[in-house]
């Protein structure tokens, strides 16, 4: 059956528009993700940096440490997760972290920025600071986590302080292994992301566990 010319033209225009939308959608997700990072940066800059004594020098905690009273600097007692940037110099990562209440958001949003696990520890505190992030896509800040090795530096930057951690271990586990984000008896940081197997991009989980090393003052930027 021969289709009318007008219908053929209409179908052609529809297919062209559909192709443009499909091609442009990933780009829009990337732009949206960067706009969100810019918004978080403005919020971060809007917080007043903590005051640091003139005679401050970095304290250091050794594993295990059950309290932080020995550090010479009086650190903030956070009651909620502070505005935080995760910095991983070895793999050129700088990304603002958002607090999430539903970890299912990572399945729904491919441009979801790194997310702080609810009810985990705060930066520098005894316990486990747990942060999840995408491995690929427009917010794939954790795409190169597998390159980290023991001793590599990870920084949690808040407004006034850099909480420095060093990588302890990198391993792969199954997606239902929630033990990796459970509390610890020392100040730890755990980064989690997807580990692909074949065509299944989220078949397993890549885990990076780091131990708190020290805290240094920053200028709040």
CATH number of 5-217: 2.40.260.10
Q: pLDDT 10s per residue in the chain (221 long)?
A: 555 666 556 655 555 555 544 455 455 454 555 666 666 666 666 665 444 444 434 444 443 343 333 445 667 788 889 999 999 999 999 999 988 887 777 677 777 889 998 889 999 999 999 999 888 887 889 999 999 999 999 999 998 899 999 999 999 999 899 999 999 999 999 999 999 898 888 889 999 999 999 998 887 66
According to the 3-state scheme, what is the secondary structure of the chain?
Answer: CCCCHHHHHHHHHHHHHHHHHHHHHHHHHHHHHHHHHHHHHHHHHHCCCCCCCCCCCCEECCCCCCCCCCCCCCCCCCCCCCCEEEEEHHHCEEEEEEECCCCCHHHHCCCCCCEECCCCCCCCCCEEEEEECCCCCCCCCCCCHHHCCCCCEEEEECCCEEEEEEEEEEEEECCCCHHHHCCCCCEEEEEEEEEEECCEEEEEEEEEEEEEEEEEECCCC
């Amino acid at each position: 059956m021969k289709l009318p010319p007008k219908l053929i033209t209409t179908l052609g225009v529809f297919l062209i528009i559909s192709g443009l939308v499909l091609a442009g959608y990933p780009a829009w997700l990337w732009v949206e993700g960067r706009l969100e990072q810019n918004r978080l940066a403005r919020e971060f800059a809007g917080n007043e940096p903590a005051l640091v004594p003139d005679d401050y020098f970095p304290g250091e905690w050794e594993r295990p440490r059950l309290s932080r009273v020995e550090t010479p600097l009086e650190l903030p007692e956070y009651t909620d997760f502070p505005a935080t940037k995760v910095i991983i110099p070895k793999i050129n990562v700088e990304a603002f972290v958002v607090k999430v209440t539903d970890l299912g958001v990572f399945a729904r949003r491919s441009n979801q920025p790194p997310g702080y696990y609810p009810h985990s520890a705060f930066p520098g505190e005894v316990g486990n600071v747990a942060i999840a992030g995408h491995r690929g896509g427009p917010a794939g800040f954790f795409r190169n986590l597998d390159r980290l090795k023991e001793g590599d530096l990870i920084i949690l930057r808040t407004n006034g302080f850099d909480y420095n951690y060093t990588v302890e271990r990198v391993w792969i586990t199954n997606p239902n292994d929630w033990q990796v984000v459970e509390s610890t008896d020392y100040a730890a940081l755990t980064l989690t992301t997807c580990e692909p197997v074949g065509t299944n991009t989220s078949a397993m989980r890549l885990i990076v566990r780091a131990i708190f090393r020290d805290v240094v003052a920053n200028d709040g930027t």
